[in-house]
Amino acid sequence: MDYLEEVADKLALEVLEAERQTGNDELFLEVKKTIGASSTTLEEAFLTAIRVRRAEARGRAVLEAQLKQLKT
């Protein structure tokens, strides 16, 4: 992972955690707008990290549900 991806992923993790804590699931849009004004490259990497992390969470939820069904 290069520096850009590391920065974007760390920020994405922090934003997703803040969204969970606050219930504001559009916080990432505010952050996107702010960083996009200075660096479109970071903005794109950040959005990719957000999408990947959210997709991973959905995938894990499906996997956990399937495994739970097998145990019952």
pLDDT tens for residues 28-42? 999 999 999 999 999
For residue 68, the model assigns a pLDDT of 92
Supply the range of the domain harboring residue 66.
3-71
Residues 61, 72: Cα–Cα separation, whole Å: 17
pLDDT less than 70: residues of the chain: none
For residue 9, the model assigns a pLDDT of 98
Residues 26, 15: Cα–Cα separation, whole Å: 10
For residue 58, the model assigns a pLDDT of 97
Number of domains in the chain: 1
- The whole-model pTM stands at 0.90
For residue 39, the model assigns a pLDDT of 98
